[in-house]
Structure 1
Amino acid sequence: MQQDIIIVGGGMVGLSLALMLAKAKIGVKLLEAIKYPNYDDANLAPYHSSFDARNSALSRRSVQIYQELGLWDALQEHATPILQVDITEQGSFGKARLRAEQEKVESFGQVIENAWLGRVLLTQVRQQPLIDLIDGVQVTALTQNEDFASIEAIRGEETLTLNAKLVIAADGRDSFCRKALGIGASVHDYDQVAIVTTVQTSKPHGHVGFERFSHLGPLALLPLPGEYRRSVVWPVKKGTEDEWLGEENDQHFLDALQETYGDRAGKFQKTGKRFCFPLSQVLAEKQAIGRVVLMGNAAHTIHPVAGQGFNLCMRDAYVLLRYLTEQQAKNADLGDAEMLLEYEKSRLKDQQRVIKFCDSVVRGFSNQNPFLKIIRNTGLLAFETIPGIKPLVANYAMGLKA
């Protein structure tokens, strides 16, 4: 079977890119290893391996992309804007604050439940005639020559051989495609797991997002739909996760949140089920080789400390779309190796800046040396007082200066 483009991996990045391509009148075959759920109104957004209990802080740029796709009205039903960001360190004097009103923007971005984002994306993909969706399929081989890339896969008792001008590998941190092509990756284990859940507080969130650095790990508290619901992402030391998981530890978890945040959010009253995810940085040594380009976590998996990972992937996808539409307009080869290398080169500056920033924050705030704490908090005060810094940081965080 011949196809212009095959996307391997139907997570949020793969689905989003497929919809971008379809809007540009480019047909695509989308392969996903896991069977997708069937949605109904009684179970609005069941968890799936790609759309789990986590929430994503969509940057302003990512929101704009979904608006261009005509999806934002549906997505906004389970999203809430971030109008203010407060950054502090437990037991220290430094504090930084960003306000959307001061930066003259409607919001810095929107927090959305991944399960709902996945439902909306998948529903649209299933309705799009230019997208041939095959789920429950396991890719077993990826090869390429001058004319096309070839994928072998199995689906139940069926064996598939698929050829395409271009293969986009968006198959996750442990990408099979990346390994099949012999592309190495640098891996740094942060020795952390992210504890993820939703909590209810006595004070309304007021559309404020908190980043609170503590001795346990960098704690993010983000507003969710409903005045008193907040998303929690708390990276803690690997091996301590059992202390925070399970219903029997609900009160212990709430008490730890209370101690870390104080009364800024009022009383932490209820917690949902907690989930944990290992945290590591995985960076592919190459992102384009021949007729294959890596996308999403297959290209770069980063720490969630600043909520930039998915937004970086969305910018990658949007730029790749531009290169592909230019090729299509010229009736040129969509899998041209030189074009894909140009795409990779065009994205390196933005990628390296975000990767370095996130890694530096994690490493810098993990060190409890008193002298370093003074330097960190002096930096937060400088951020708060020196003119010109806030707009620059805000624009980068919103993805507007990529």
Structure 2
Amino acid sequence: MQQQVIIVGGGMVGLSLALMLAKASIAVKLLEAIKYPNYDDADLAPYHSSFDARNSALSRRSVQIYQELGLWDALQVHATPIFEVNITEQGSFGKARLKAAQEKVENFGQVIENAWLGRVLLTEVKKQPLIELIDGVQVTSLKQNKDQVYIEALRQDQCLSLQTALLIAADGRDSFCRQALGIGASEHDYDQVAIVTTVQTSKPHQHIGFERFSALGPLALLPLPGEYRRSVVWPVKKGTEHEWLGDENDQHFLDALQQTYGDRAGKFQKTGRRFSFPLSQVLAEKQAIGRVVLMGNAAHTIHPVAGQGFNLCMRDAYVLVRSLTEQLSKSDDIGEPTMLLAYEQARLSDQQRVIKFCDSVVRGFIHQNPMLKLIRNTGLIAFDMIPGVKPLVANYAMGLKA
């Protein structure tokens, strides 16, 4: 009898994981709380709670995983490669620059709008005979014993009772599954809200990504398909976000971008609708308990400052599927708790490194003390000049040294 895995949570991580499992000939039942949009127009990608206005900077490792899944050709149409990364601080002398050609790589990764990433993933999931997709379903109970995991769920007026040898909880930072299992989580509120949108500039982006640290917050400007389109992710102090939202504030927002960023992109000409997302770090105290594994934001939600969150989740998923495949090759129990604990231990080093790095960057640039600014900018210059540092950082950022 073929063993079936249940995934709770059908966002980008859940969909990607389901496709990895199906490729490994493992049957999947995927439960998603929100109804998915209908894709009637081939030229549109409607927003979903998990495929919203945000963008993902896919590392080279994430791109490789999608290539292995046979999905990259469909994704590449909506993605833009990054050939160069510039890091600066407003009003300061320090700067650092990474160039793909100098690091002898094709690019540092690809930027894709989450709405298109979600559309491509969902379309592929619906084609897979090994994946049963159930959306609009709310899990209401989760229990387990030494042999099985049992869940109950509601879909409209229908009550579902399901069981599995392995449940993967990818149901977000406020994970119901994590709470039902009694797994605690540490949380740090950064007192920031990310303003996310797309802008058009008078100068072409030339496939350059920018990280610009300012008193308002760390501004990320990344290239998008279309020579003059760029994505904006701008964490600002919580409580000030309303100043930048709403159609009536379009010009005010563009003026603030111009003042913060300068003229490197030319003139900021147009902005799309702005969306806001509160920023916090949430880390589960455990990621494997019994026959349940936490995945994605349910396991670790981190600050988007370095664009590493989704890429970290992709590496988690890839290693988990590899562990499950090895287990099945020996005809062993796919949900064996000792194996799941070994998976958790195998991933801790990579996770802790990325989490610490992102948290340190946010905390390190949040203060405007002149002495701290001097130290930061001296560090940027050192990064730009000391031999051997750039290749190491570039490999980590590309997910190739996990």
- TM-score scaled by structure 2? 0.99
Give 1:175's aligned amino acid.
S
Question: Over residues 183-221 of structure 1, what are the superposed CA-to-partner deviations in whole Å (9 max), with x where a residue is unaligned?
Answer: 000000000000000000000000000000000000000
Give aligned pairs, total: 401
Q: How far is the alpha carbon of 1:42 from its aligned partner?
A: 5.6
2:307 corresponding residue in structure 1? 307
Give 1:147's aligned amino acid.
D
Q: Secondary structure at the match of 2:165?
A: strand
1:86 corresponding residue in structure 2? 86
Q: Could you tell me how far apart the structure 2 residues matched to 1:3 and 1:55 are? A: 35
Q: Could you tell me how far apart the structure 2 residues matched to 1:260 and 1:44 are? A: 32
Q: Secondary structure at the match of 1:205?
A: coil
2:214 corresponding residue in structure 1? 214
Residue 25 (1) aligns with residue 28 (2) = no
Q: Secondary structure at the match of 1:111?
A: strand
Q: How far is the alpha carbon of 1:40 from its aligned partner?
A: 1.7
Q: Secondary structure at the match of 2:107?
A: coil
Q: How far is the alpha carbon of 1:43 from its aligned partner?
A: 5.5
Residue 326 (1) aligns with residue 342 (2) = no
1:292 corresponding residue in structure 2? 292
Q: Secondary structure at the match of 1:36?
A: coil
2:335 corresponding residue in structure 1? 335
Question: Over residues 125-168 of structure 1, what are the superposed CA-to-partner deviations in whole Å (9 max), with x where a residue is unaligned?
Answer: 00100001100000000100011101100111111110000000
Give 2:364's aligned amino acid.
G
2:63 corresponding residue in structure 1? 63
Question: Over residues 323-377 of structure 1, what are the superposed CA-to-partner deviations in whole Å (9 max), with x where a residue is unaligned?
Answer: 0000110111110000000000000000000000000000000011100000000
Q: Could you tell me how far apart the structure 1 residues matched to 2:42 and 2:176 are? A: 35
Question: Over residues 248-270 of structure 1, what are the superposed CA-to-partner deviations in whole Å (9 max), with x where a residue is unaligned?
Answer: 10000000000011111000000
CA contact (8 A) 2:10 2:171 kept: yes
CA contact (8 A) 2:195 2:277 kept: yes
Q: Could you tell me how far apart the structure 2 residues matched to 1:390 and 1:106 are? A: 16
Q: Secondary structure at the match of 2:49?
A: coil
Q: Could you tell me how far apart the structure 2 residues matched to 1:372 and 1:50 are? A: 37
Q: How far is the alpha carbon of 1:44 from its aligned partner?
A: 1.9
1:166 corresponding residue in structure 2? 166
Q: Could you tell me how far apart the structure 1 residues matched to 2:266 and 2:367 are? A: 29
CA contact (8 A) 1:203 1:265 kept: yes
CA contact (8 A) 2:3 2:26 kept: no
Q: Secondary structure at the match of 1:48?
A: coil
CA contact (8 A) 1:3 1:29 kept: no
Q: Could you tell me how far apart the structure 1 residues matched to 2:5 and 2:123 are? A: 21
Q: How far is the alpha carbon of 1:41 from its aligned partner?
A: 2.1
Question: Over residues 4-32 of structure 1, what are the superposed CA-to-partner deviations in whole Å (9 max), with x where a residue is unaligned?
Answer: 21000000000000000000100010000
Q: Which runs of 5+ in 1 are unaligned?
A: none
Question: Over residues 32-74 of structure 1, what are the superposed CA-to-partner deviations in whole Å (9 max), with x where a residue is unaligned?
Answer: 0000111022662000001001110000000000000000000
1:365 corresponding residue in structure 2? 365
Runs of 4+ in 1 over 6 A off after TM superposition: none
1:143 corresponding residue in structure 2? 143
Q: Could you tell me how far apart the structure 1 residues matched to 2:366 and 2:60 are? A: 28
CA contact (8 A) 1:141 1:151 kept: yes
2:266 corresponding residue in structure 1? 266
Q: Secondary structure at the match of 1:354?
A: helix
User: Identity across aligned pairs (percent)?
Assistant: 84
Give 2:116's aligned amino acid.
W
Q: How far is the alpha carbon of 1:3 from its aligned partner?
A: 5.8
Q: Could you tell me how far apart the structure 1 residues matched to 2:156 and 2:216 are? A: 45
2:257 corresponding residue in structure 1? 257
2:134 corresponding residue in structure 1? 134
Q: Secondary structure at the match of 1:162?
A: strand
Q: Could you tell me how far apart the structure 1 residues matched to 2:55 and 2:38 are? A: 21
Q: Could you tell me how far apart the structure 1 residues matched to 2:143 and 2:41 are? A: 42
Q: CA RMSD for the aligned pairs?
A: 0.8
Q: Could you tell me how far apart the structure 1 residues matched to 2:239 and 2:384 are? A: 36
Q: Could you tell me how far apart the structure 1 residues matched to 2:348 and 2:42 are? A: 44
Give 1:215's aligned amino acid.
A
Q: Could you tell me how far apart the structure 2 residues matched to 1:217 and 1:388 are? A: 29
Q: Could you tell me how far apart the structure 2 residues matched to 1:16 and 1:26 are? A: 14
Q: Could you tell me how far apart the structure 1 residues matched to 2:166 and 2:387 are? A: 47
Give 1:310's aligned amino acid.
F
- TM-score scaled by structure 1? 0.99
Q: Could you tell me how far apart the structure 2 residues matched to 1:138 and 1:43 are? A: 31
Give 2:363's aligned amino acid.
R
1:234 corresponding residue in structure 2? 234
Q: Could you tell me how far apart the structure 1 residues matched to 2:263 and 2:157 are? A: 58
